Amino acid sequence: MGDKTMTADEVVSRLSSGMTLGIGGWGSRRKPMALVRALLRAGIGDLTVISYGGPDIGMLAAAGRIRKLVTAFVTLDSIPLEPHYRAARERGDLALTEVDEGMFMWGLHAAAQRLPFLPVRAGLGSDVMRVAPDLRTVTSPYEDGETFVAMPALRMDAALVHVNRADRLGNGQYLGPDPYFDDLFCEAADEAYVSCERIVDTAELTKEAAPQSLLLKRLAVTGVVEAPNGAHFTSCAPDYGRDEEYQREYASTPWPEFAERYLSGDEEAYRSAVREWRKEREA
Amino acid sequence: MKVTRTPHLQPTRTPLLPPTRAEYCVIACAEAWRDGGEILASPMGLVPSLGARLARLTFAPDLLLTDGEALLVRPDGTPEGWLPYRQHLTLVAGGRRHVMMGASQIDRYGNQNISCIGDWERPRRQLLGVRGAPLNTLNNPTSYWIPRHSRRVFVERADMVCGVGYDRAAELGSTARFHRVPRVVSDLGVFDFATPDRSMRLASLHPGVSVEQVREATGFALAVPDEVPYTRDPGDEELRLIREVLDPAGARAREVPEGARG
């Protein structure tokens, strides 16, 4: 049982351009933003990204790192439309595979179970079938003879997720109300990297929370990063809520200016730039 | 939770102000969940949320509601269950739900678009994406709420079909046997698809709105019956619940402003 702790920069040093990456969370909720920021610093690009999209997609798209995106939506939740993603799409900067939220989930399940596809009713009749010409249907071999979408497995080279607690071995815990799909992302990936608010001893994990909060099993986790505030500015209940004011700053600042001010240094530089911004606002 | 009726004709009670347009919209949305039974009501947007909660407090007490996140809650906010996204998506496939979604575009057969405007390959305006609309429309009743009825929304053809309409459902045969679009509610009236070819029909006008006004704001030929009823009035108890319990701050008037239309 090895110690899997590493830094965010060590995580991205194990990734490379052209990979297919899954990013956990949902919209602007519990996104592994510290890992995304490290990805931006490392200059990795030409990515295929699989995500229930939020600012993770906005930032990577604005920086021109996404070749192809697989998603059902991209949103900042409290700001319905992600401005940087939106601009990238309107410029024609990235290829898109647009599937339904449920199709996406069954694509993760298929990958986690090493199946080529799973049949789903969602998608039929909609333009999802028109804009993704690779999607195929499958017909039930039983009496009903029904036709379904054969949602292909969303297999990925690596997954990036963020949880509230983890131990050094890769057992990961969520403490908020929703696990989202982070366990499936890890199981659907060849390698999974988990950032967390705090690394604790294994015995601590079940001291204050029930065992069903142990979302991630170490057998599906490659590396563990301690990243306090590592989902910022997305929400990470119950540790913190979404930083709405800073999200507005992100959404309303032209990308080059935003990247220059907040993303040109390491994670510590990011945090101090955010502190500086807050001080200016309060002055 | 049992709601006790306020006794009528209390001598000290001042007469209620007449219902606003926003309040007619709340009533029209609430009616979507009448006779739904013990299912999940999934309203998206403020007015549908008020409608669902009103229905739950009055004529549809068995409805389940969420807090908008991962909890099933009673009208007073008390959690009664857990419904994280993964279970929510599975529940949709099981069909025990009636969702009311928004629409950036909706066409005469009820095809809905929230993904993008213009050519999908390179959209003129990127919007949300298809979200759960394909899943919703093939699995459980899906109604729509449109706070500003206009030709930009009610279009001849949706640019990207996210929510499946009746013409496309018909082509799917038995695979679409769970497809149903019970109603479309806008700030002008209520619409359904109770026509021989399942095209959109004006079902009721909100008081103060004319058929001409609706036709003018609709980008396709709408079926209009000879006699169009008005959306029903809210009862005193319903008005009290909307005004004093569900939306005391009056946020509904921001979604549907009064007097914004002639």
Of B69, B126, B176, the CB nearest to A177: B69
Q: What is the rounded distance in angstroms from the CA atom of residue B109 to the CA atom of residue B176?
A: 15
- Do the beta carbons of residue B169 and residue A125 sit within 8 Å? yes
Q: Verify whether the Cβ–Cβ distance A92 to B162 is below 8 Å.
A: no
What pLDDT sits at residue B262?
42
Task: Name the band, by pLDDT with cuts 50, 70 and 90, for residue B4.
Answer: low
Of B89, B169, B171, the CB nearest to A101: B89
Of A81, A147, A179, the CB nearest to B84: A179
Residues of A in contact with B115 (CB under 8 A): 98, 127
- Do the beta carbons of residue B202 and residue B215 sit within 8 Å? no
B124 shares contact with chain A (CB less than 8 Å):
yes
Give the tens place of pLDDT for each residue, A24-39: 999 999 999 999 999 9
Of A121, A125, A131, the CB nearest to B120: A131
Across chain B, mean pLDDT equals 94
Q: What is the rounded distance in angstroms from the CA atom of residue B247 to the CA atom of residue B48?
A: 12
Q: What is the rounded distance in angstroms from the CA atom of residue A279 to the CA atom of residue A283?
A: 6
Among chain B residues, the shortest Cα distance to A73 is held by B129
The single-letter DSSP state of residue B175 is G
Q: What is the dihedral of CA A114, A119, A123, A124, to 10 degrees?
A: 150
- List B residues 158-187 in contact with A (Cβ-Cβ < 8 A): 160-164, 168-169, 171-172, 174-176, 178-179
Closest-CA distance, A185 to chain B, in angstroms, reads: 13
Q: What is the pTM of this model?
A: 0.95
**Nearest one of B86, B84, B80 to B62, comparing CA atoms:** B80
| Bridge partner residues of A20 (DSSP) | A48
- Do the beta carbons of residue A270 and residue A56 sit within 8 Å? no
CA distances from A169 to A201, A217, A236 (A): 10, 9, 22
Coil/strand/helix, residue B146 = strand
Q: What is the rounded distance in angstroms from the CA atom of residue B242 to the CA atom of residue B57?
A: 10
Strand B201-205 to B189-192 pairing: antiparallel
| Bridge partner residues of A119 (DSSP) | A150
Q: Verify whether the Cβ–Cβ distance A102 to B132 is below 8 Å.
A: yes
Residues of B in contact with A140 (CB under 8 A): none
Pure H helices in B58-147: 85-94, 133-139
What pLDDT sits at residue B260?
52
Give the tens place of pLDDT for each residue, A36-94: 999 999 999 999 999 999 999 999 999 999 999 999 999 999 999 999 999 999 999 99
Q: Verify whether the Cβ–Cβ distance B89 to A99 is below 8 Å.
A: no
Of B125, B129, B172, the CB nearest to A74: B129
Across chain A, mean pLDDT equals 97
Q: What is the rounded distance in angstroms from the CA atom of residue A85 to the CA atom of residue A93?
A: 9
- Do the beta carbons of residue A200 and residue A167 sit within 8 Å? yes
B91 shares contact with chain A (CB less than 8 Å):
no
What pLDDT sits at residue B5?
52
Tokens for B111, please give them.
Answer: 């095809």
Give the tens place of pLDDT for each residue, A89-139: 999 999 999 999 999 999 999 999 999 999 999 999 999 999 998 999 999
Average pLDDT over residues B183-200: 98
What pLDDT sits at residue B1?
47
Please confirm whether the linkage preceding B84 is cis (ω < 30° from 0): no
A282 shares contact with chain B (CB less than 8 Å):
no
SS (H, E, C) chain A: CCCCECCHHHHHHCCCCCCEEEECCECCECCCHHHHHHHHHHCCCCEEEEECECHHHHHHHHCCCEEEEEECCECCCCCCCCHHHHHHHHHCCCEEEECCHHHHHHHHHHHHCCCCEEEECCCCCCCHHHHCCCCEEEECCCCCCCEEEEEECCCEEEEEEEEEEECCCCCEECCCCCCCCHHHHHHCEEEEEEEEEEECCHHHHCCCCCHHHEEECHHHCCEEEECCCCCCCCEECCCECCCHHHHHHHHHCCHHHHHHHHCCCCHHHHHHHHHHHHHHHHC
Give the tens place of pLDDT for each residue, B91-117: 999 999 999 999 999 999 999 999 999
As a whole-number percent, the residues of chain B with pLDDT over 90 amount to 91
Tokens for B100, please give them.
Answer: 């009311």
Strands (E), chain B: 40-43, 65-66, 71-73, 79-82, 97-101, 105-106, 112-113, 116-117, 125-126, 142-146, 184-186, 189-192, 201-205
**Nearest one of A82, A73, A83, A25 to A230, comparing CA atoms:** A25
**Nearest one of B61, B74, B70, B63 to B88, comparing CA atoms:** B70
Task: Name the band, by pLDDT with cuts 50, 70 and 90, for residue B150.
Answer: very high
